[in-house]
Amino acid sequence: MNDNDKSQMDAAAAEELKGVPEEFLDDGSEDEGEGADALSEALENLRNDLEAAKQDVLYAKAETQNVRRRLEKDVADARAYAATGFARDILSVWDNLSRAVDAIPESLRDDDKMKGLVIGIEATQRELEKVFGQHGVTRIASMGLPLDPNQHQAMMEVPSADHEAGTVVQEMQSGWMIKDRLLRPAMVAVSKKPD
């Protein structure tokens, strides 16, 4: 083998080793034990780095899944409770319609001239109740039930021997729920023991 061939082989070998870190190259000057120790140490460092990277990937996947679940819940809540503001505003219409129906005296209900108007107002009230039901808006039961501070707002106490203390005896304004959330508490009067 001539010197030209030898230098070409050395150049080819050097090209192959280009990019390999110095600590992995053995120039033959070190003991084989030292080179093996350095190689073992570098391999152990790489294994530790790989394990740390795997943990980081697992944490990132878990966090991504948690974010996705939160977003899905937020979207579901937005759909379920989108009508909250509108429903709260339309409750005053319900209140006025209920007061109108309650204020109609029996004499007008039987009067042929007014019967159509009374039937129309009552039909409007039933239709409004139906629309509320379609959107998950339900009325809170109050009368005769114990006061529930999560659904009722006690406005006054009424002495009563007929009812147990803390029982709702009068509803001044109806309370409403939208699905499982309170839309408006019922304003009520509760019984207390007579003095």
pTM: 0.62
Arithmetic mean of pLDDT over the chain: 85
Q: Which of 177, 171, 139 is nearest to 155 (CA)?
A: 171
Pairing of strands 152-159, 186-192: parallel
- Secondary structure of the chain in HEC code, one letter for each residue: CCHHHHHHHHHHHHHHCCCCCHHHCCCCCCCHHHHHHHHHHHHHHHHHHHHHHHHHHHHHHHHHHHHHHHHHHHHHHHHHCCCHHHHHHHHHHHHHHHHHHHHCCHHHHHCHHHHHHHHHHHHHHHHHHHHHHHCCEEECCCCCCECCCCCEEEEEEEECCCCCCCEEEEEEECCEEECCEEEECEEEEEEECCC
How far from 124 is each of 2, 121, 128, 130, 149, CA to CA, in Å? 109, 5, 6, 10, 31
Give domain limits for the chain: 32-80, 84-192
pLDDT at 194: 82
pLDDT at 78 (0 to 100) = 83
Q: How far is CA 116 from CA 29, 30, 105, 122, 163, in A?
A: 112, 110, 14, 10, 39
92-108 per-position pLDDT tens digit: 999 999 998 888 888 88
Question: Rounded to the nearest 5°, which phi and psi values hold at 91?
Answer: -60, -30
> Which of 189, 194, 193 lies closest to 155, judged by CA?
189
- Structure confidence at residue 10 (pLDDT): 65
Q: Which residue ranges of the chain lie beneath pLDDT 70?
A: 1-33
Backbone angles phi, psi at 25, to 5 degrees: -90, 130
Q: Given this structure, which CATH class describes domain 84-192?
A: mainly beta
Q: What is the pLDDT of residue 33?
A: 63
